[in-house]
Structure 1
């Protein structure tokens, strides 16, 4: 496995991806990893490496801009706020990463998927909602589920997997139901796995604020990863 940093762009914005390549020289399917609200960091890079060990090109993408990082233990609303208020810009930023991934020599551009954590979960779901050009499927892990309101209809082509903590205050049961209705209305091939005791950020070992609805859950973390890898194996 080799790990490298690559610059790419969304219009005038310079971005940077951390990429883990599997052993060998042949083309391989790629999985984009979209970060949580603090920006691309150690967790996303470790996920890229885990994916490379499974034979995928793991690409930890960048939503905020090269060298723009938030506070992992603080409030990063100022970083995600502009994207939550302009979902078209959010979709464009994620699509720029897909376009970039398809240009890489080691990537089989016909086999690309995207997974996202927290804010990143919302990003990959919007990618599916927006037509998912170039992406076969997406996975949201403890992501926000709110629709984007971009007046898009028709069937969702990308397959969708959601790994959800049932006690997540950012995706309460009414939002889960609304999401299910949205997916059904657009004839998506979708799955939602609810982890009954899990809260928001259940895959993050540093999450320890149950009073705010955020806590690591080792069982949900393990089970969700098994689900993700099975989904990717079927998809790619």
Structure 2
């Protein structure tokens, strides 16, 4: 896995790239990080995408090179300004997609994301970015105020923990209405809370759940095979 420096509007960003294991001309899966910034969890998922799924994996950096959070306050300070300014977030996402495609030369691209990254990939779909499909894992569902009536072209997979306090049953119904008319699917996992794919997460609201992690990635593997067919 190698670091990749890229720029958007003169600002430096540092992503991570892992080529497809044993394949050439493989499709590309972009990975969007959780609220703390690009770190160990995204790199672990990149290993799965590359070695088990056989796709190129490129983890984006949405915050900027060297900008990472280690506490709740730091994470909130990095995430909330972008959640509140979706046009800026979408600009960074589009720039990251362009950098990843330029670095890999891939012609077929999908994106997955976790927590804040789940919101990021849903915004990629909302904004009609250059991705064939997106997968949101324990993502935030807050709509993008700058896209009041999105026209979703990408296929959409949502893997959701039913006990996630950051995405309530009302939020699930709301995103189903928002994405009506598009090719979306949602799997709700009854024993999962937030962060169910984040190895090491503990707590009442954010907790790793091995069975849900395994099942959700089995769904993802099938989804990506369909998207890239």
Check whether TM > 0.5.
yes
* Matched residue, 1:205: 199
2:192 matches 1:195: no
Unaligned runs of 5+ in 1: none
Quote the RMSD (CA, aligned, Å): 1.3
Task: Give the SS at the match of 2:213.
Answer: helix
1:226–1:98 Cα change, 3 Å: same
Structure 2: how far apart are the matches of 1:165 and 1:130? 25
1:16 to 2, 5, 14: 14
Following TM superposition, the consecutive aligned residue runs of length 4 or more in structure 1 with deviations greater than 4 angstroms are none
Distance apart, 1:25 and its partner CA: 6.9
* Matched residue, 1:126: 123
2:156 matches 1:160: yes
TM-score by length of 1: 0.92
2:31 matches 1:33: yes
Q: Deviations over 1:74-111 (max 9, x none)?
A: 3311000110110011111111111111212x4322x1
Distance apart, 1:214 and its partner CA: 1.3
Structure 2: how far apart are the matches of 1:172 and 1:160? 19
Any residues of structure 2 matched to 1:134-145 within 5 Å, and which? 134-145=130-141
1:228 to 216, 220, 225: 220
Q: Deviations over 1:138-160 (max 9, x none)?
A: 00000001110213536310010
Aligned pair count reads 226
* Matched residue, 2:89: 90
Distance apart, 1:128 and its partner CA: 0.2
Whether the aligned pair in 1 keeps the contact of 2:163 and 2:190 (CA below 8 Å) is yes
1:91–1:209 Cα change, 3 Å: same
Structure 2: how far apart are the matches of 1:61 and 1:130? 17
2:207 matches 1:215: yes
Unaligned runs of 5+ in 2: none
Structure 2: how far apart are the matches of 1:25 and 1:142? 30
Structure 2: how far apart are the matches of 1:60 and 1:136? 17
Q: Deviations over 1:161-206 (max 9, x none)?
A: 000000000000111110000011xx21000100011000011122
Higher strand share: 1
